[in-house]
Amino acid sequence: MAEMSRRNSRRLRRPISQINVVPFIDVMLVLLIIFMITAPMLQQGVEVDLPEAEAQALEAQERVGEPIVVTVTSAGVMSLNQGPLVNEPLAGPQLVEIVQELLAARPDTQAYVRGDRQVDYGRVMDAMVALQRAGAGRVGLLTEPPRDAN
């Protein structure tokens, strides 16, 4: 008799064929929180107060990739936007060496200098000369468009 009740209980219990989404929702909420916290930290760069100028943009060329940008801070410190030492202070010879490696990998890469408006003009020229020594054919200067006085 006890054996019969066990068989009947097995027949009455069927596996539930629904997916439990609660753990999935928990994981998604945790990932959402993690990404919300880390996203602002991922933005890196060097803060530079660019000069304003009413200049025409350079001719649009076919972009091979991200351009090489040398940033010169108000203290005269130079850094690169890519390579092994991203946004780290670089000396002239070190800058030339890294840019040569970048240009060897992608020869058609455009090169720009972002100079702070307070920096000595000689430091901006040093950055331009370093880019030319590394093999950059044309070097552009980055500025901000003028703010409206309204």
CA distance 64 to 31: 34
**Average predicted confidence (pLDDT) for the chain:** 76
Average pLDDT over residues 11-18: 72
Sign of CA dihedral 69, 96, 115, 118: positive
Is pLDDT larger for residue 29 or for residue 148?
A: 29
Q: What is the pLDDT of residues 16-67, one digit of tens each?
A: 778 888 899 999 999 999 988 887 766 555 565 555 656 555 555 555 578 8
**Contact in structure between 55 and 112 (CB atoms under 8 Å):** no
- In the prediction, which pLDDT does 47 show? 60
Q: What is the pTM for the complete model shown?
A: 0.57
Contacts of 115 (CB under 8 A, 6+ apart): 48, 50, 51, 71, 72, 123, 124, 127, 141
Q: How confident is the model at residue 6 (pLDDT cuts 50, 70, 90)?
A: low
Closest CA to 100 of 136, 71, 72, 127: 136
- In the prediction, which pLDDT does 30 show? 94
CA distance 83 to 70: 11
CA distance 76 to 63: 29
